[in-house]
Chains A and B, each alone.
Chain A
Amino acid sequence: MTVAFLGVILLSLLLAWLSRRGHRRQKAEDFFVASGQFNAILFFFLAVGETYSIGSILGYPGGVYAGGTGAATWFLGYILLAFVVGYFLNPLIWRAGRIYGAVTLPDLFRRHFDSRALELVVAAAGLVFLVPLGMQQFIGLQSIMKELGWAISPLALTAAAGVLAFLYIVISGIRASAYVAILKDILLILAILLTGLVALEHWSVGAVHAAAPLKLAAPALQTDVFSITTILLQCVGFCLVPQTCAYVFTARSAKAIRRAQITMPLYMVMFPFLTLVAYYALRHPMPLASSNDVFPAVAHALLPAPIVGLVLAGAALSGLVVVTGICLAIGPLVTRNLVPGLSNNQQRQWAKLVMALYLLLSIAGAATSSQLLITINNLFYFGITQSLPGMLGILFIRRMRASAIICGIIAGDVLAITLYEFAVPTYGVNAGFVGLVVNAVIVFAGLYFFPDRDRHPIVSRLLSGKNMVSKIPA
């Protein structure tokens, strides 16, 4: 098992090294977004990696195991619709990114609205809400690496994972992430299919419960309202996640993005197999430190050791690829958007230091936190989605005012977190959704009562005919 695991890790490092070919001297934009050169296949693997983060592999079967299929409904629903929304929205975000020379989401806001304050607010919100996501990956990595049975402390194991993630980054930035993502996705597909199919084969062997003792979703109105508002919030929020935007900016063309988006939902056929794994664990009770351990525990119980090594390596790579994606999103948020005036080379160099610090912070956070992964996922989307009204202003709406967007983002974030933290009753409505509605009311009231000067939204720059642009139209 250990040999197989380490073999995959070494192979991933080799792939990361190969990704340097022809790009040894990287500029900041090449390091962060591959200078927008990725074809549909590389964009697909990079973007879809977000779906199969360690939160999905561990959190999804863990959620079904602990809470029944209620959570699974909104979890799958939002991811499925996120791909659909992405088919329409991501090509526009890509076009905005090209026109404004954007590497990050706040770059778009600064250039479109000509507002440094708005750039700072969007960057700060992105940073605040990305911090728990790194912790989430490292909590998952702990669960995975625990299954290896090495006599090493969990903290040392996660530190090793952090060093590995940092190595991928310094080797060639987003290119290494994309190449490793290909290996990770192939391994993960095989791992999930294999574990699910073997669980099916052993379905009746040693089953304690004749039928899985599942907690089916209670048919209550509040449950439905929560599912619907969470799906609506998160399917749009998915396209506004800082690393998703960075992945979109790596694409060569809008067509490459659309081609990749078509096949992305099909990648979700893994989820029925993950459901199968959770059901198997319910029928065959096994000792679990937490519900998040369901997938590695079932793999361990059913598969031969070398295969378990491959399964665990695939799961570990899924966490590592997402961590590198988060790091590559956070680095430029600090060195391009928060700190002004750094040269192209300085942005890349200082970003590496920021990423190292972020990895340390996430490892330390993972060592002290034990929250359920899905809970962290919720808080993340509360904040990230608040940039939606502003994004609509960039893409579709004229005369939106930067100060109104700033007020909306701050009000939406504060309200959502307050409702969530103090458990204020919202009658099932997702707290982030409430925040987004208030945010939108503020922004659109500003648009109605205090319209700004006319700015060309991205859709009005469809640039009839050839669409060849090198500079921003006046």
Chain B
Amino acid sequence: MRLSPAARIVIGLVIPFLAVIPTVPLLNHLPIAPFGVSLGLLWLFAAIPLASLCLAICWFGHDRDLPDEHIAADYDAGREP
């Protein structure tokens, strides 16, 4: 299955951001702290493999099939003494 560019952005960027930005502060408001650890922090630990999974979906569903680039760089261009 090939991902569309929009789906790639949603899966690779939007989902990880939503998993962190509003979710973690909201969870920190809950008066639940298993073993003294805030729920937000525990969720953040769970978001670590989630982020990798999202990026892996982008890679296998879209970016892996893109042609690789071979760009010859001229590091001295415009820097002649």
Q: Which residues of A contact B (CB under 8 A)?
A: 27-29, 35-36, 69-70, 72-73, 76-77, 80-81, 83-85, 87-88, 95, 97-103, 110-111, 211-212, 214, 216-217, 219, 223-224, 227-228, 231-232, 253-255, 258-259, 261-266, 268-269, 271-272, 275, 279, 336, 341-344, 346, 463, 465-472
6 more A-B contacts (CB under 8 A) besides A217-B38, A272-B45?
Answer: A69-B38, A254-B69, A346-B81, A468-B71, A469-B71, A471-B74
The proximity string for B residues 1-35 relative to A, scoring 1 for CB distances below 8 Å and 0 otherwise, is 00000000100110011001110110011000101
- For residue A469, which residue of chain B has the nearest CB? B71
- For residue B77, which residue of chain A has the nearest CB? A101
Evaluate contact between B33 and A470: CB separation under 8 angstroms: no
Q: Which residues of B contact A (CB under 8 A)?
A: 9, 12-13, 16-17, 20-22, 24-25, 28-29, 33, 35-38, 40-41, 44-45, 47-49, 51-52, 54-56, 58-59, 63-64, 66-79, 81
Instruction: Give the CA-CA distance A214 to B28 in the complex, in Å.
Output: 14
Residue of B54, B71, B77 most packed against chain A (CB within 10 A): B71
Query: Which 6 A-B pairs rank lowest in CB-CB distance, beginning with the nearest?
Result: A98-B71, A224-B25, A467-B69, A29-B75, A265-B51, A219-B29
Choose one: B17, B24, B64; the contact of A73 (CB below 8 Å): B24
Q: Which residues of A contact B33 (CB under 8 A)?
A: 214, 216
Evaluate contact between A262 and B56: CB separation under 8 angstroms: yes
Evaluate contact between A87 and B71: CB separation under 8 angstroms: no
Q: Which residues of B contact A465 (CB under 8 A)?
A: 67
Residue of B36, B49, B68 most packed against chain A (CB within 10 A): B36
Q: Which residues of B contact A472 (CB under 8 A)?
A: 77
- For residue A342, which residue of chain B has the nearest CB? B81
User: Shortest Cβ distance from A216 into chain B, in angstroms?
Assistant: 5
Evaluate contact between B21 and A101: CB separation under 8 angstroms: no
Choose one: B36, B48, B76; the contact of A80 (CB below 8 Å): B48
Q: Which residues of B contact A85 (CB under 8 A)?
A: 13
Evaluate contact between A265 and B36: CB separation under 8 angstroms: no
29 sampled A-B residue pairs with Cβ under 8 A: A28-B75, A29-B73, A73-B44, A76-B44, A76-B45, A77-B21, A80-B47, A80-B51, A84-B55, A98-B71, A101-B75, A214-B36, A227-B24, A253-B70, A255-B63, A255-B64, A258-B63, A262-B55, A265-B55, A266-B52, A269-B48, A279-B36, A336-B79, A341-B79, A342-B81, A467-B71, A469-B72, A470-B74, A471-B74
